[in-house]
Structure 1
Amino acid sequence: MAGAFVGRAIELGVLTKRLERVTRTGDGVAVAIRGRRQVGKSRLVQEFCDRAGVPYLFFTATKGASAVDGVADFHSELRSSALPKDREVLPETVADWPDALRALAAALPDTPCVVVIDELPWLAEQDAVFDGALQTAWDRLLAHRPVLLLLLGSDLHMMERLTSYDRPFYGRADSMVLGPLNVADAGEALGLGPADAIDAHLVSGGLPGILRAWPHGTPALEFVEAECADPASPLFSVPETTLLAEFPAPDQARRVLEAVGSGERTHANIAAAAGSVSGALPSGVLSPLLRRLTEEKRVLAQDAPLSVQPGKPVLHRVADSNLRFYLAALRTAQEQTRRGRPAAAFRVVQRRWTAWRGRAVEPLVRESLELAAAAGRFPWPDTETVGGWWNRQFSPEIDVVGADRAPVAGRIFFVGSVKWLATPFERRDLTALQTGAPQIPGLDPAACGLMAVSLSGAEPGLERAGLDLLWGPADVVAAWRA
């Protein structure tokens, strides 16, 4: 999909609606757009600016630059942009951010325009007065002018703080969270069928930075094999850059993330894997780290057993499937690639692929089921959340539980099993589901549906044995097209 812009119809529509409001009212609108690195924030906004047909300024901050350099770079971009209605009113230089933002206000045309400040958290790092200067300029100079102000940032916590109640810009900007491309858009961009589209999405995480390097029509393992000959491939460099940006030093937080990425899911196992020669990480150390990685950094996700009772244990996983794949297999493969051993690198991926994919696809399946239920294309339309269930012994472990709410359900509508293998869903798989499901607290076997989600279909006749619904790759992908 080299150079192509795909998907993002909803996001483009949201930005277009905000620009229409600016045009209709003549007043300014601010939008804070946050999303992880390589998710395509800058590309989305550039596409919007290109389509909008109005003058715009697109300024990108430089990490590590001084406050003086940041101000000077902004002013230089302003002077060279199509924005100024009269370049004669612009000063040759500006001293600080209040001066620079006053110059911006003076340059604004009387017709609608767009101002983009990319990597805004870096400006806040450079200059402690930036947030206050932005708020003052907005309130006094920009809010009643026909300008759409787009504030972009990859530091999710800092971008959330920008508009929180105790910060100067509180209540002044709408918020947009930009996630990766969904599996349907990724498959369309790459020209892949449903099963291959799901594999490609799991490998890439839906990140445009990787998908742009993906040859059209190439299945996931073929792409990975080809990239194993390239030490600088985005397949390696994108997750590596994310890891280094978020965790520049190999501290305890990074060890915890790596433990989860290697497949540890429970608190005890993560503590043991992330510990040192002196023993496992104490709970008083690990629990705050897990909260930080989940709530602040957003690199981990938590899954709790879904039933009518609170359940344990909570399981942890790496939220981004591309980073998850990197920690589980690609990082080891990359070491072989750097040593000029592409065949050995690909063998590492091959050995770990089936087990990794089988677990990694489950969150995607659950999201797809929720979307299908919300769209009314599902036998259990009252379903609002889909999770899984397990006990402390993980016997049984039910892959799919559909209910009316979470984290504690009021009613369970269906349960299911995910089998993402080359073999079909068989009678013994159905029997295991029928045997394990009644152990879920609050489940009524007489009123609960049974479903399977299978890569390779199902053994004939299972509908007569009690299977109510069978989903395949096409159903998983179709849920994202609704």
Structure 2
Amino acid sequence: MNFIGRIKELDILTERFNSNKAEFLLIYGRRRIGKTELVNKFISADHPGIILIGREESKKLQLDRYSRLLAEYFNDDLLRKQGLKDWDAFFEYIYQQAKKQRFILALDEFPYLVKDDKALPSILQDYWDTRLKDSGIYLIILGSSISMMERLMSYKAPLYGRRTGQIKLNALPFTDVAGYAGDMKRAVELYSVFGGTPAYITQTDPQRDVYWNIGRNILRFDSFIYRDIKFILLEELEEPRYYFSILESIASGNVTMGKIINYTGLARSLVGKYLNVLIDLGIIKREIPVTDSVRSKKGLYFLRDNAFAFWFRFIFPAEDMIDLGHGDVVLENIKIGMNPYLGRTFEDIAKEFLWLLNSGKAVPFTFSKLGSWWYRDKEIDIVTMDTGSNIFFCEVKWKDLSAAEALVIINRLKEKAGHVRWHNSDRTEYYGIIARRIKGNGKNKLIDAGYYAYDLNDFEKCMAK
């Protein structure tokens, strides 16, 4: 699999390795997010180490396999013959090796090991406190069960206070996917469908259009991605039918609590409970108007990863058709709904773009807050503010616009901006637009008129830096 991005994470891992202090890192995140690939990329001649992968098997079989792998890594004939009989022997062996050399030991899918032996975290705690913390070990614990990994870090857990750091691995940002895709328009389309999940985006062919990639990688009943999203959620969620109904509701555009209740027919108390679980797992997010306080009751719910948003919007309702081999029919329906769907995902990409521009001359001021704004039937795609009284209003359109069309949108934006309650008596207002393309010399006309205007060409220039 191609390795994409993760520069910051690799820099952090390298910095910690070079410290020569004992390290105990937790790396966690949902399946397919690239945890194992990150550690594989990190382990090298300069950073020697071994990954031991946990399986759903007995402790004896785990330790027998680990003994063989460690014996091969350390070229230890005695270990080949005798093996490691329990976790105490395992950690004692690791300690003896770590006294002689610095190396990385990555225990992947650690929750599987704990599932078979609940005492393992306590054993590890004991060996860390009494031996390993004074050695050259670089210990990494990896896990896909977010809930279990976060319990390992909780106050009452045996390993509380022992870790020297943690990395929660999230989806790749658009900038990394753009570098993989090459063409900026295709990058937006692929990122909108396959999201920032490395295992999904690397299945695509950037030389082919988005519909070919959807047909090849999602709409075949034998395709890996078609079933994978459901499998991932089934592993994390109890009562999945209720969760799936809520996720389908959100993906279909029902993003308020009231609309989700009406769509699913579930009680308000149940919807509230399930939404909180989905937020805790990082599957959905709750957004409030950028000018509101954190206690705002105007929250809207969205799926965090575009792969999940696309799957619940277009694939989940059409599973029967795909299973019957009618992926071509589903693809035609996707084409009908694709532009409105891209309009929403492009807004999030535009926000990421503005954060990249922040502190430069391409934005009206250095902002400290960015988000969307809405009130009743009025919405503004992006609003940024600083700690003073500067405010920037911006609309985002997945369209090719002339200067005249852009001006119509900006004039409507000005009218909506008048309803935004924030430093109304003394603020300085700026206006802009982000489009797929601004035709001809339309961008220059808008800039000459005092507005900020961006399109995919600006995305490309910004990311090239």
1:182 corresponds to which letter in structure 2? P
> 1:61-140 maps to which residues of 2 (within 5 A)?
61-62=54-55, 64-80=56-72, 82-83=73-74, 86-88=76-78, 92-108=82-98, 110-140=100-130
Cα distance change of structure 1 residues 102 and 91 upon mapping to structure 2, 3 Å threshold: farther
**Does 2:284 match 1:300?**
yes
Cα distance change of structure 1 residues 386 and 476 upon mapping to structure 2, 3 Å threshold: farther
Q: Distance in 1 between matches of 2:88 and 2:456?
A: 54
Select the residue among 242, 261, 264 that pairs with 2:251. 261
Judge conservation of contact 1:90–1:103 (CA < 8 Å) in 2.
no
Structure 2: which 5+ residue stretches go unaligned?
none
Select the residue among 140, 145, 158 that pairs with 1:150. 140
What does residue 470 of structure 1 align with? 453
Select the residue among 21, 28, 34 that pairs with 2:22. 28
Deviation digits for residues 212-253 of structure 1 (CA, Å, limit 9, x no counterpart)? 221242232332233356322234233233223223643433
TM-score, scaled relative to structure 2: 0.89
Q: Distance in 2 between matches of 1:370 and 1:211?
A: 23
1:142 corresponds to which letter in structure 2? L
Instruction: Let me know the Cα RMSD of the aligned residues.
Output: 2.6
Q: Distance in 2 between matches of 1:186 and 1:117?
A: 28
Deviation at 1:171, TM superposition (A): 2.6
Q: Bigger CA drift: 28-37 or 209-218? A: 209-218
Q: Distance in 2 between matches of 1:156 and 1:481?
A: 34
What does residue 413 of structure 1 align with? 391
**Does 2:198 match 1:214?**
no
Q: Distance in 1 between matches of 2:330 and 2:192?
A: 19
Deviation at 1:153, TM superposition (A): 1.4
**Does 2:310 match 1:325?**
yes
Cα distance change of structure 1 residues 379 and 261 upon mapping to structure 2, 3 Å threshold: closer
Judge conservation of contact 2:279–2:285 (CA < 8 Å) in 1.
yes
Q: Distance in 1 between matches of 2:42 and 2:58?
A: 30
Q: Bigger CA drift: 28-37 or 470-479? A: 470-479
Judge conservation of contact 1:202–1:321 (CA < 8 Å) in 2.
yes
What does residue 174 of structure 2 align with? 183
Deviation at 1:61, TM superposition (A): 0.9
What does residue 278 of structure 1 align with? none
> 1:4-403 maps to which residues of 2 (within 5 A)?
4-22=2-20, 27-50=21-44, 52-54=46-48, 56-62=49-55, 64-80=56-72, 82-83=73-74, 86-88=76-78, 92-108=82-98, 110-173=100-163, 174-190=165-181, 192-227=182-217, 230-247=220-237, 249-275=239-265, 281-295=266-280, 297-307=281-291, 311-373=296-358, 375-391=359-375, 393=376, 395-403=377-385
Structure 1: which 5+ residue stretches go unaligned?
276-280
Q: Distance in 2 between matches of 1:5 and 1:214?
A: 13
Judge conservation of contact 1:163–1:169 (CA < 8 Å) in 2.
yes
Helix, strand or coil for the counterpart of 1:143?
helix
Q: Distance in 1 between matches of 2:53 and 2:197?
A: 20
Deviation at 1:178, TM superposition (A): 1.9
How many residue pairs are counted as aligned between the two chains? 457
Q: Distance in 1 between matches of 2:366 and 2:47?
A: 43
Deviation digits for residues 49-94 of structure 1 (CA, Å, limit 9, x no counterpart)? 135352x2211111x43344444443343233x136x442677244
Judge conservation of contact 2:357–2:363 (CA < 8 Å) in 1.
no
Judge conservation of contact 1:90–1:107 (CA < 8 Å) in 2.
no
Judge conservation of contact 1:228–1:333 (CA < 8 Å) in 2.
no
Q: Bigger CA drift: 69-78 or 196-205? A: 69-78
Q: Distance in 1 between matches of 2:162 and 2:320?
A: 47
